[in-house]
Amino acid sequence: MTISPFLRPQASAGSPAHGPTRCRLGLAACLMLQTACSDASSSASSASEATTPPAKADPTNAVPKDTRFTVQSIKTFDEPWAMTFVNDDTLLVTTQPGKMYRLHWPQSLIGAGASVAQPEIVEIGNVPDVVFEGQGGLGDVIAAPDFSDTGLIYLSWVEADDKGLSGAVVAHARLVEEAGQAPRLADITRIWEQTPKVSGAGHFSHKLLLSEDGHLFITSGDRQKFDPAQDMEKSLGKIIRLRSDGSVPADNPFSAQGELARQFWSIGHRNLLGIAQDADGVLWTHEMGPKGGDELNRIERGENYGWPIVSNGDHYSGEAIPDHPARPEFNAPELWWTPVISPGSMIIYSGDRFPDWQGQAIISGLSSEALIRVTLEDKIAEVGRVDMGKRMREVEEGPDGAIWALEDGANADLLRLLPKQ
């Protein structure tokens, strides 16, 4: 465990993801060398800002500010993918290769200080077998609101058929622990699968959200197959809305367009690794654009978000895709990024440790190696970026009001951020 002050180098929205201003030492080294690292970067950054083009088309977007943090490294995982606090002393972490861990602290995290004790960590048994390939594997985990009574969680993973075609699956299960035994999953009940299964190992998305009114939203990526995002007979490239028991609500918007379409809440999506609901009940998602054009979308019932017909990015081949303004019948993003940020997950912050951040979206960035703050009030804009020096896979708000983040990849740290006093 390390506890170190971490001063982010000055950076603007215009700093390239791999620009010259960043500390290339990695977060651990930055933590140890924070004074030298941040001082050196500050002066280099001024020169760079003058010549770096804006990160997005809107030049009025506020320039992110320096912020000082205390960063505590809690644990290291192999290829962590998602996490969720199930109560005020317990965190579940999934890893892409297929492990799920329970981290339990000896006392509530509420009100915890600059550092927290080392958690007890145990591997959860009876986790379903997963196909770990490309972007696939064990996926998201979220807890039901009555978890403390029922142990009910929802999880997603990737499976393959006997032809090797793959797709995401969502189930609910109970986390149970009997005396003297390790915790395990029981009563695993499949409630949804991506249809059809296809070749390849990309764009599963399979992030989960239980809305305030008790619906289960599932992000279903386009599996890098493009056109299925507009196909009402395929559940790829869609946002799915189910009841919490997995049944299909009668009031979904595409109910008249076929058996599969009854599940759809919105269509025309690409790869959505973040979904969150704000205090007003508005649903927000982000999705990775192709070459350019990462999006933050306000999700409206029954809307078409245009992929692959429109995108503010273009194909990797260089082939152009018309930008959103060319086809106003499709819902355009509220905010978009070129160069891309590669959004990996998103929360909407509500804690009191960062009072200025309340109501803002915080997005964990992969290629941008940052935590990106976006205000959702009035003008939707990026207002801050915390340079982490590592690809950030997942972000959560802890019961302590701290920002918790998982790095991406092997030997990836679970980090806890608080404002530096």
Among 76-84, 117-125, 280-288, 404-412, the segment contacting Ca ion (CB under 5 A): 76-84
Check residue 156 for interaction with Ca ion (CB under 5 A).
no
What does the angle CA 139 – CA 145 – CA 146 come to, to the nearest 5 degrees? 115
SS (H, E, C) 296-347: EEEECCCCECCCCCCCCCECCCCCCCCCHHHCCCCCCCCEEECCCCCEEEEE
Check residue 205 for interaction with Ca ion (CB under 5 A).
no
**Closest CB to Ca ion among residues 301, 315:** 315
Among 75-83, 252-260, 281-289, 326-334, the segment contacting Ca ion (CB under 5 A): 75-83
The one catalytic residue among 203, 206, 286, 324: 203
Which residues ranging from 303 to 342 are in contact with Ca ion (CB under 5 A)? 314, 321, 323
Check residue 413 for interaction with Ca ion (CB under 5 A).
no
Among 82-90, 98-106, 177-185, 408-416, the segment contacting Ca ion (CB under 5 A): 82-90
CA distance 169 to 20: 41
Determine the size of the site formed for Ca ion (CB under 5 A).
5
Query: In whole angstroms, how close is the CB of 76 to Ca ion at the nearest point?
Result: 18
Whether 203 sits among the annotated catalytic residues: the reply is yes
**Closest CB to Ca ion among residues 211, 255:** 211
Six-digit token pair at 135?
Answer: 């972007």
Q: Which helix (H) or strand (E) holds 17?
A: none
Give the residue from 361, 298, 311 showing the smallest Cα distance to 338: 311
- Residue choice 12, 48, 70, 84 for contact with Ca ion (CB under 5 A): 84
**Closest CB to Ca ion among residues 82, 216:** 82
Query: In whole angstroms, how close is the CB of 21 to Ca ion at the nearest point?
Result: 28
Neighbours of 301 (CB within 10 A): 13
Which residues ranging from 6 to 25 are in contact with Ca ion (CB under 5 A)? none
Q: Which helix (H) or strand (E) holds 205?
A: strand 205-210
Check residue 382 for interaction with Ca ion (CB under 5 A).
no
137 in Cβ contact with 156 (< 8 Å): no
Query: In whole angstroms, how close is the CB of 398 to Ca ion at the nearest point?
Result: 11
Find all residues with CB under 8 Å of 267, minimum gap 6, and list them.
229, 230, 232, 237, 238, 239, 254, 303, 304, 305
Query: In whole angstroms, how close is the CB of 53 to Ca ion at the nearest point?
Result: 17
Check residue 143 for interaction with Ca ion (CB under 5 A).
no
**Closest CB to Ca ion among residues 265, 307:** 307
48 in Cβ contact with 15 (< 8 Å): yes
CA distance 115 to 398: 13
20 in Cβ contact with 44 (< 8 Å): yes
Judged by the rule CB under 5 A, the positions of this chain that interact with Ca ion are 82, 84, 314, 321, 323
Question: Which residues carry out catalysis?
Answer: 203
